């Protein structure tokens, strides 16, 4: 009986693994309207399970960058998402940034420090993703001009702090809390329809809020976080390998 139960658990875990990435990709693309594309994945022949399937020995983001299709193919179309992940059910989910969501990332130690500092300051945070080596803070889209103006106010900006805007990408976790290298430190939160608008009879405002709430999580503006990110990044070593 114990052997049968163990086999059932393994089968159940395999089923969860087969659906975890496509479920996540559909949530991001169809419900939240974030553009996604499959990541290349890790090299299955690598005994350490750390090499990238792209074959480059010095790949800076092993497994979680797009190759075929490329980043320009990122989409919100659920039909395309299903087709991609039906062919490759274990493909990581790569988010194309700069459209409806952008990001900033720090080495993991500095990212955890920034997260703690922001909590103490009462900053309202959006979703945060942890990888084995980095913390990714998802924010509302920002322009290069806006970012340049913010950074120009800083005395010094650490190179370990990276910005993922238009033309960039980050990896997002699978659905269902599947164990793996990517996890939510702070889960995405979908806004609730303001009751005051309903009570006040502002039906149009309430309907707009409902439509927005159904589609996308709340994201902070980059200017609300940049000071804390820069301060935390000053204590982190620089590097060029964004290992996930």
Mean pLDDT by 10 residues, the chain (244 residues): 49 63 96 96 71 84 88 96 95 95 94 90 92 93 91 86 94 85 92 59 55 74 92 69 46
pLDDT given for residue 82 in this prediction? 97
Helix (H) or strand (E) holding 24: helix 2-26
pLDDT given for residue 168 in this prediction? 95
pLDDT given for residue 207 in this prediction? 53
pLDDT given for residue 49 in this prediction? 62
pLDDT given for residue 35 in this prediction? 97
CB-based contact 121:232 (threshold 8 Å)? no
In Å, what is the CA distance from 57 to each residue of 67, 86, 132, 178?
15, 28, 19, 28
């Amino acid at each position: 009986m114990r052997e049968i139960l163990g086999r059932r658990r393994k089968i159940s875990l395999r089923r969860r693994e087969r659906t975890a990435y496509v479920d996540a990709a559909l949530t991001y693309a169809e419900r939240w309207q974030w553009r996604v594309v499959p990541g290349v994945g890790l090299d299955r022949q690598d005994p350490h399970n750390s090499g990238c399937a792209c074959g480059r020995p010095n790949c800076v983001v092993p497994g979680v960058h797009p190759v075929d299709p490329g980043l320009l193919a990122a989409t919100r179309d659920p039909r395309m998402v299903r087709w991609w992940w039906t062919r490759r059910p274990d493909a990581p989910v790569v988010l194309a940034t700069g459209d409806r969501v952008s990001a900033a990332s720090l080495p993991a130690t500095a990212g955890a420090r920034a997260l703690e500092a922001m909590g103490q300051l009462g900053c309202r945070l959006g979703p945060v993703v942890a990888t084995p080596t980095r913390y990714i803070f998802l924010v509302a889209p920002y322009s290069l001009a806006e970012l340049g103006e913010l950074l120009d106010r800083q005395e010094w900006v650490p190179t370990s702090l990276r910005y993922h805007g238009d033309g960039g990408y980050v990896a997002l976790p699978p659905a269902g809390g599947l164990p793996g290298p990517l996890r939510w430190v702070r889960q995405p939160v979908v806004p609730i329809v303001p009751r005051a608008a309903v009570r006040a009879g502002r039906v149009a405002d309430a309907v707009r809020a409902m439509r927005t709430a159904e589609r996308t999580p709340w994201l902070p503006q980059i200017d609300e976080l940049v000071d804390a990110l820069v301060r935390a990044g000053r204590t982190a070593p620089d590097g060029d390998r964004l290992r996930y």
